[in-house]
Structure 1
Amino acid sequence: MNLKQRFLTQSTIILIGTIVITCCFGFVYTYFYSLLSKSPDSSGVKHRAIVVMENDRVLYKSEDFSMFQIKEILMNISVGNNYYEYNNRKFTIDEEDFTHEDGDKYKIITLNQVVDENYYYKSLIAFVFMTFLIVFIIASLIVQKQNMNNIMIPIVDLTEKTEKLRNGELDTAITDKGYGEIRELGSAIEQLRIQLKNSLYYQEKVDDNRKFLISSISHDLKTPVTSIRGYIDGVLDGVADTDEKRDYYLTKAIEKTKMIDTMIEDLLLYSKLDLKQMEFEKEKIDIVKYMKDCIDDSLTDFKLENKSIVFENKLSAETFVIIDVEKFKRVAQNIVDNAKSNIEEQVGQLKIILRETSSSVIIEFKDNGKGINKQDLPHIFDRFYKSDTAREVKGSSGLGLAIAKQIVEGLDGRIWAISEASQGASIIISLKKMKDKKH
């Protein structure tokens, strides 16, 4: 109900309610007036009196009338006047004559007070008018108080808070108080405040990210760029004076350019993930088959470095998860590459273990490398964080695990690490599972 309809409804209710209450009081007034009109007045005259006469002699008279009053009544009867006035009151006179068997004549005179209709209607109108006025004022005050609490006060509050909002104070919450449209307005302004605050936070975060990324990537790019320049200068200056040396220098320069390309690619991917600009193409897959494919992609590299990769499936049945196939492969590859660079030849091993809980699939990447220091463990998923030179991936941008974390969380999963120094490390991922093949 909008304000216009509400005001119209309130006015109608006040008017109808006032009329109904006034009518009720009018009926009550009429009822009590009727009762009071039958009671004796201060002069002792009742509203009804009887006089009984025998042969022009008063045989019985009502105690309410004196003899003088009775004579006046008889005089009015004799002249055909059927009314008698006393103390500003008017009575009708009814006469009934009859003759007894013995020949005596009797007369019964009955007097009934005539209600002064003018006085009655005037008093009734005055009473009704005063009642209507009082009830209308009381009802209006009640409605006015409600409107004050639900319209005026919320509007004043909104005005003050929007002024603060205009001045850049975004921490003051705006409550949605008042009637429908006022409450909706307050709710809309509150949503605007939240969006402005989020936008400001988002903008600050973007600015901080840009500064941090520029600073970090500039530092990380400096080394390969310097190396490329050195190799090219060596070729141009004649340091590489044989074909074999020139090929070596140029090969190294190409490797460094590939390293730069990887860094830039990781940087762009992380930026999109961090700013929520990357869309996920989710689909349901068999997690066992998927992880076997991921392992096959890395198996050759492990064998070339005399390292092993082992897969253990502890799932009780065929299990499905919903992931973005390409992006999650990037997660697995980053973790596998990180583990491969931190285990030793011959004895180095990465074990990938699948197990489950009632609602999740757990993927554990467990290596037997040097592990991660306790003070470094909370930070390994931070961007550009490298715990120590021994665990750095050659040619790494420092964004591998940060990208993995962003992707896993984008798939509504969790990722964490457990480790003790010199006892290897485990990167663990938890994904929601589906127990059957039906969507």
Structure 2
Amino acid sequence: MKVRKKLTVTFILIVLIPLVLVFLVTKLYTYVQTKDLEETYEFESSHSAYENIVFFNKYLSKVYTSTRDEINKNVDNLKKIEYIEEINEKLEKENSFIVLKEQDNVIYVGKNKVDKVVETIKNNKVSDKNIYLVTLINGEKKYLIKQLTFETREKRINNVYVVTELDSLIPQRADMIMTTFISILFILIVTAICITSWIYLNFVYPIEKTREVAENIKDGNLDYDAKVFKEKDDEIARLNDALDQIRKKLKANAQDKVNDEKENRALISNIAHDLKTPITAVKGYAEGIIDGVANSPEKVERYIKTIYNKANDMDSLINELTLYSKIDNNRIPYNFAKLNVKEYYNDCIEEISLDLENRGLGLAYYNYADDDTIIIADPEQLNRVINNIVGNSVKYMDKASGFLNIRVKDVGDYVQTEIEDNGKGISQKDLPYVFDRFYRADASRNSATGGSGIGLSIVKKIVEDHGGRIWVTSKEGYGTTMYFIIRKYQEVQDE
């Protein structure tokens, strides 16, 4: 549920729950009071307030009427206390009593401890009119006072007051206003607790958990499970998911940094090892010349040539390291140009063939591309790709009759180059990793097969920067074939 919808639901609950509960409590009070009335006065009710009012109007009118009619028959008997007490006894059954006032003097009170009622009646001026439904509130007591006016034969005005105690007449368990107030207060408190709990569970708790996630990420605890709300789909859950993605990326970056440092240490170790071998050779041959071991012109020439070759190996290694540094920072300088596939590969293979011939290796070259096939490439970097692959084949050649096949093919929108050798091959377990930086299938290092382990990763980077792709197939003991494709240049036809 979205946060906006949750807020809407919260607002509706704040308004609706108290209204519903107040309505139910009111209905319950009405039901209880009505049942008490039914049991006390033995009448049937449909639980409507109007029906109850009608009933009490009739009930109280009956008490008033019966008292009036009886006194009218014997008005002169109002002088007799026995007669008045007899009427008062009948009224006591109806939760009422009599107060008799002659002229302005109260001469009879039918109940004790009703001073407020008597005082109210004393202050009431003598009137020849009947007063009905006069209400007196005395503290917590409720009284209904009805005045009956009679004139005796002596022309004396007597006022008979029928006083009904409403608290006794209507069975109430507590003061209705106070009970209602307490009930509403209780309902509001319960509603506030429920709504507060709802808000806490749906807003405060998720925000607090999200803050906890952010604190752990800030403190570098990237292994902390930040995916707290796995089944929710609201704004807070999406924020939590974003934080979890940040955590994963930071963790991946940290791991990459660790791996990079590890690889850099491996590179330094490899470079140190690979430089040490030719340097040792250079020093040895130079000392041989200085010490006179090379005691003939031919031997001196051979020593100098060896020194030169080792120096070239060191130069190649340093160039490779420099290029690797540029690759790592995406700063390889490219100078793209249109290259004729036939002409470019012919020149490139001519250079390679001389080197392979000097090493005693055979070469077969086939170019199946059309004479006008053009590619867009950096000639220097593409030459580096071909030479690195060929150099790798030569480095791992384990046969006396070593041989390379180089084929160039037209494959639709691409030109495909295949460089095949009959060397030692690559095992299937190593095949997926040959283009990874610092990966060397041959774990044992020696001067013949040693290397930095970055040559093929450089090749892959250059080919991909040309918009191409490179892959390899190999069979251990039989040889390896490297494939890479470069997109052909095509003229855009004007419409």
- Aligned residue among 306, 311, 314 for 2:367: 311
Distance 1:423 1:430 in 2: 24
Give yes or no for the alignment of 1:299 onto 2:349.
Answer: yes
Structure 2 unaligned regions, length at least 5:
35-45, 76-126, 136-141, 149-165
Q: Which has the larger radius of gyration?
A: 2
TM-score (norm: length of structure 1): 0.61
Cα pair distance change 1:124/1:293, threshold 3 Å: farther
Partner residue in 1 for 2:129: 80
Which deviates further from its counterpart, 201-210 or 372-381? 372-381
**TM-score, normalization by structure 2:** 0.55
Q: How far apart in 1 are the matches of 2:130 and 2:262?
A: 112
Q: Aligned partners of 2:145 and 2:336: how far apart in 1? A: 103
Of 311, 324, 343 in structure 2, the residue corresponding to residue 257 of structure 1 is 311
Q: Is the CA contact 1:39–1:47 (under 8 Å) kept in the aligned structure 2?
A: no
Residues 18 and 132, structure 1, Cα contact 8 Å, conserved in 2: no
Contact residue 372 and residue 424 of structure 1 kept, 8 A: yes
Which residue among 203, 223, 228 is the counterpart of 1:171?
223
1:419 aligns to 2:470 (yes or no): no
1:332 aligns with 2:386: yes
1:68 aligns with 67
1:347/1:271 CA distance change after superposition, 3 Å: closer
Q: CA deviation at 1:180?
A: 8.4
Q: CA RMSD in A?
A: 5.9
Shift of 1:225: 0.8
Secondary structure of the residue that 1:173 maps to in structure 2? Answer: coil
**Aligned amino acid, residue 256 of structure 1:** K
Q: Residue 29 of structure 1 contacts residue 124 of structure 1 at CA under 8 Å; is this kept in 2?
A: no
The alpha-carbon distance between structure 1 residues 162 and 437, as it changes in their structure 2 partners (threshold 3 A), is: farther
CA distance in structure 1 between the aligned counterparts of 2:72 and 2:315, rounded to whole angstroms: 131
**Aligned position for 2:205:** 152
Deviation at 1:237, TM superposition (A): 2.3
* Counterpart among 280, 283, 295 of residue 226 in structure 1: 280
Distance 1:415 1:181, change over 3 A: same
Return closer, same or farther for 1:219/1:412 CA change in 2, 3 Å cut-off: same
Match of 2:57 among 20, 35, 47: 47
Percent of aligned positions that are identical: 22
From 27, 50, 53, the counterpart of 1:38? 50
Structure 1: which amino acid aligns with 2:459? Answer: A
Aligned to 1:142: 195
Q: 1:23 to 1:281 in 2, by over 3 A?
A: farther
CA distance in 1 between counterparts of 2:484 and 2:214 reads 45
Question: How far, CA to CA, are the matches of 2:206 and 2:449 in structure 1?
Answer: 66
Q: Report the alpha carbon displacement of residue 198 of structure 1 after superposing the two structures with TM.
A: 3.0
How far apart, in 1, do the equivalents of 2:68 and 2:187 lie?
A: 45
CA contact 2:22–2:187 (8 Å) conserved in 1:
no
Instruction: Using the TM superposition, give the Cα deviation of residue 92 of structure 1 relative to its aligned residue in structure 2, in angstroms.
Output: 12
Deviates more, 1:7-16 or 1:134-143: 7-16
Q: Take 1:17 and 1:434, find their aligned partners in 2: how far apart are those partners?
A: 73
CA distance in 2, matches of 1:261, 1:171: 45
Q: Which runs of 5+ in 1 are unaligned?
A: 51-61, 94-114
The answer on whether the counterparts of 1:270 and 1:403 sit within 8 Å (CA) in structure 2 is yes
Structure 1 residues 336 and 373: alpha-carbon distance in aligned structure 2, compared to 1, 3 A threshold: closer
**CA deviation after TM superposition for structure 1 residue 272, in Å:** 5.3
**For the Cα contact (< 8 Å) 2:216–2:222, is it kept in 1?**
no
Distance in 2 between residues matched to 1:345 and 1:6, nearest whole Å: 79
Secondary structure class of the residue paired with 2:368: strand
Sort the Cα spacing of 1:319 and 1:190 in 2 relative to 1 into closer, same or farther, 3 A. Answer: farther
